[in-house]
Amino acid sequence: MADPDIKAVMDARAGEARAQRRRAARIRISALSVAVIVLLLVVNVLAHGNFLEPGNFTHVLRQITVNTILGVGQTFVIITAGIDLSVGSIVGLCGMVMAIVANTLHLGGPGTFIVTLVVGLAIGCGSGWINAQPVVRLGLPPFITTLAMMQVGRGLAFILGHGQSIPLADSTPFDWLGSGYIFSGVLGFVGIPWAVVVMALVAIVFAVILGRTAYGRYVLADGGNEEAARLAGINTARVKTLVYVISGGCAALGGLMLMAQFSAGTPQAGTGDELQCIAAVVVGGTSLMGGRGTIVGTFLGALLIGVLNNVMNLVHIEAYTQQIVLGVVILLALILDALRKRYFGAR
């Protein structure tokens, strides 16, 4: 065992380093929050007071639920230096499959919901598993295998509905998720959409998995140095397979939420969402080179994009201009991150 003096010194040093990091983080956060508050007030004036309104705040959170959930799965994939382009198509495919399952079942109530969810997750996770196989067995680039899945998934979604949406015969088992609120009416409060609660749960559960479990550590290690991770006895093939399964499962959940919202399976649901969620992940500070990333960052990334969209709608910026602004903001966020790393060191 170590000399107690040495241990005391080491502990003191570790504490000092932690305190230093906390101080730096506090300064960063306080400077940032002042800037954000000023900006929000300006925007609020421009939007005739419609922006800083509780109703609008829940509206923004509601808008980012699907993107955040897709982003959570995508974060795991990107930390292993991979990419999952198929999530948007899996959203559409799972939505269609789940609409068919819901319409075929005659269980009624929660039974329908649960069976539909399970089937949807199976399809989503299965698609993720298929995505992973060429990557872990043959070393093919995930860009290609998930691009193929993106095409296949979207095609299947259209075939399943003969090109049409499939309306839910009975949407009641899904309405709580699609448009329901929790805590509604408490103290005159509009309540929190159930979709937002689900998003928060997914984000928290996966943040804990990434930050506190052995699996999360292995994902980070695999992304940081795959060979070193393998030689440390980590089953890197299994670690990588699972990240695509997680991403597929998150996409299935996203599909369920959109289906509940529209009360229908729509074949084009989720189109382009793969890029939206990659943007959220990257803006959130996860490195495309792998080895580094957080779920909190991804949530903040999705929130930033959501707030921007909301603000631009409120001040009546037209849709095409919004695209340009979003593109510039994503680029700026990355440039800022790169500059921060250059001048303040990594992490």
Partner 1 sequence: MTAAALDAPLLVMRGIVKSFPGVRALDGVSFDVRAGEVHALVGENGAGKSTLMKILAGAQPADSGEIDVDGKPVVIDGPKTAERFGIGMIYQEFNLVPDLGVIENIVLGVEPRRGLFLDKPAAVKEAGQVLAELGIVLPLDRPARRLSVAEQQLTEIAKCLVRRARLIVMDEPTAALTDREIDALFALIGKLKAQGVGFVYISHRLEELPHIADRVTVLRDGKAIETRPIAEMPQDDLIRLMVGRPLESHFPELPAVLADAPIVLDVRDLSSDSGVPVRDVAFQVRRGEVVGLAGLVGAGRTEIVRAIAGADIPTSGEIRINGERIVVRSPDSAIRAGIAFITEDRKAQGLVLGMTVRENTTLAHLAQFVRGLFVDKAAETEATNVEIAELHIRTPSSEQIVSNLSGGNQQKVVLAKWLIGQASVFLFDEPTRGIDIGAKAEIYTLMVELLERGAAIVMVSSELPEVLGMSHRVLVVRGGRIEVAFDRAQATPDKVIAAATGVALRAMGAN
Q: What does the binding site for partner 1 look like in residue numbers (CB under 8 A)?
A: 1-3, 6-7, 10-11, 13-14, 16-18, 208, 212-214, 217-218, 220-221, 224-225, 227-235, 291-292, 345-347
Dihedral over Cα of 123, 127, 132, 134: its sign: positive
How many Å apart are CA 302 and CA 90, to the nearest integer? 19
Residue with tokens 């305190």: 19
CA atoms within 13 A on the CB side of 54: 7
Q: Report, in Å, the least distance between residue 215 CB and partner 1.
A: 10
Neighbours of 8 (CB within 10 A): 11
Q: Report, in Å, the least distance between residue 138 CB and partner 1.
A: 17
Q: Are 96 and 154 in contact (CB under 8 A)?
A: no
Q: Are 127 and 308 in contact (CB under 8 A)?
A: no
Report angle CA 254, 259, 260 to the nearest 5 degrees: 100
Q: Report, in Å, the least distance between residue 341 CB and partner 1.
A: 12
CB nearer partner 1, residue 132 or residue 277: 132
CB nearer partner 1, residue 134 or residue 291: 291
Q: Report, in Å, the least distance between residue 106 CB and partner 1.
A: 38
CB nearer partner 1, residue 281 or residue 330: 281
Residues 6+ apart with CB under 8 A from 95: 157, 255, 256, 258, 259, 265, 266, 269, 270
Neighbours of 102 (CB within 10 A): 27
CB nearer partner 1, residue 19 or residue 37: 19
CB nearer partner 1, residue 101 or residue 229: 229
**Kind of pairing between the strands at 181-182 and 192-193:** antiparallel
Q: Report, in Å, the least distance between residue 221 CB and partner 1.
A: 5
CB nearer partner 1, residue 227 or residue 318: 227
Q: Report, in Å, the least distance between residue 347 CB and partner 1.
A: 7
